Amino acid sequence: MAKYEIATIDGDGIGPEVCQSAITVLKEACGSGLLAFTGHDGGADHYVKSGHVLPDDTYAACKAADAILHGAAGMPGVTYPDGTEVGNDLHLRLRFRLDLYANVRPIRLYQGVDSPLKHFKPGQIDYVIVRENTEGLYASRGGGIVLRDEVATDTIVVTRKGIERVARFSFELARQRKGAPRDGKRRVTVCDKANILRTYAFFRSVCDDVAAAYPDVDIDYAYADAITVHMLKRPDFYDVIVAENMFGDIISDLGAATIGGMGLSASAELGDTHGLFQGAHGSAPDIAGQNAASPLATILSGALMLRWLGDKHADAALTDAAQRIELAVEQVLAKGDHVPRDLGGTASCTDMTQAVCRALSR
Ligand code: ATP
Ligand code: MG
């Protein structure tokens, strides 16, 4: 019997292609006996067929599994009877029900990638965005009000408990990060708008309270507007950035653009017990079913899954496999024989999968 159960959900659009690609690579890296993958239904297409976006048995399997690997969910035009879009509800429901409060998005520039910031050396852009995932402005989703077709409101809610846990997560992550610290000390940057809104001032002050327990880590602050400039001008300054839900969403897409785009942007959504791993991109319906998607974001998310499991269970075999996958991706990109289409190349999803598997076996 395998040691770790991985629940997988292909989802919609390019979800099945990229999810199956990551499974192939994970199997190649881990061999037999370590991971067992079981596929489950869910998403917008499944809603059309069955009336369920997150079937009970899928939820139960995700809850019971050691980790969840997800392709992507969402199909434009698929709506609930009240007319609202199903979108990536599968993912959102899992996020809330499994309390995945920290969304971790590494921003790492790989050699050979045609990024707008390619004048930086790969090691210079290497930081992590931690997006608070369960509250903030997006917690208002579905709860906003439109008054007489004239005025609309949404409510931003942050709680001490919610901020504390994501701040603590970020400081712990900073402590664990490998590689040379910036200016000799690890750093957490709090991204907010404390000068304008009470909620963000509170977010900052609770982060300050948490920081007191981490004298070995510097705390730094950036307004959400200013950080978009800094991320382009001096990305080498950053180590860990913690942000409220919506700001985290926005700056992580910007961060992804600086390293070559969404096709390279891995993501882990973590709680105290559960972890869900998928690329930071959506289901990209425009290129679905064409074998044109880049699987690299999902493959790298699979590596994050192995790292997280490896730390949790003190299992070096997993950490080692994670490192080998990251190295294999690095080698494929540096070599430049196989370049995915979103990075200007012609390699298909399967070409990229095979190239990473070949690099792994070397
Ligand atoms: P979401 O609302 O879930 O964030 P989105 O509307 O932001 O989704 P994405 O699906 O993330 O949209 O992607 C935007 C575009 O980027 C896609 O339409 C597609 O062309 C491109 N894209 C996204 N992911 C990939 C990928 N893995 N490989 C290649 N191109 C991609
Ligand atoms: Mg998006």
Q: Are 188 and 140 in the same domain? A: yes
Q: Are 18 and 124 in the same domain? A: no
Q: Are 255 and 160 in the same domain? A: yes
For tokens 């972890």, the residue is 275
Give the range of the structural domain holding residue 52, as residue numbers without chain letter. Answer: 1-98+288-362
Q: Are 124 and 251 in the same domain? A: yes
Q: Are 30 and 148 in the same domain? A: no
Nearest CA to ligand 1 atom 20: 284
Q: Are 161 and 254 in the same domain? A: yes
Q: So what's the pLDDT on residue 312?
A: 96
Give the position, in ligand 1's atom list, of the atom nearest the Cα of 293: 28
Q: Are 252 and 136 in the same domain? A: yes
Count of the separate structural domains present in the chain: 2
Name the pairing type of β-strands 102-108 and 268-270. antiparallel
Nearest CA to ligand 1 atom 14: 284
| Distance between CA atoms of residues 177 and 128, nearest Å | 10
Q: Are 320 and 233 in the same domain? A: no
Domain CATH for 204: 3.40.718.10
Q: Are 83 and 178 in the same domain? A: no
Give the position, in ligand 1's atom list, of the atom nearest the Cα of 13: 10
Q: Report yes or no on 88 lying in a domain.
A: yes
Q: Which ipTM score applies to this complex? A: 0.93
Q: Report yes or no on 20 lying in a domain.
A: yes
Q: Report yes or no on 244 lying in a domain.
A: yes
Q: Are 31 and 93 in the same domain? A: yes
Nearest CA to ligand 1 atom 5: 282
Q: Are 125 and 251 in the same domain? A: yes
Please report, in tens digits, the pLDDT of each residue of the chain (362 residues total). 779 999 999 999 999 999 999 999 999 999 989 999 999 999 999 999 999 999 999 999 999 999 999 999 999 999 999 998 999 999 999 999 999 999 999 999 999 999 999 899 988 999 999 999 999 998 877 778 899 999 999 999 999 999 999 999 999 999 999 877 777 899 999 999 999 999 999 999 999 999 999 999 999 999 999 999 999 999 999 999 999 999 999 999 999 999 999 999 999 999 999 999 999 999 999 999 999 999 999 999 999 999 999 999 999 999 999 999 999 999 999 999 999 999 999 999 999 999 999 999 98
Ligand 1, residues at Cβ distance < 6 Å: 14, 18, 74, 88, 262-263, 279, 281-284, 286-287, 293-294, 297, 342
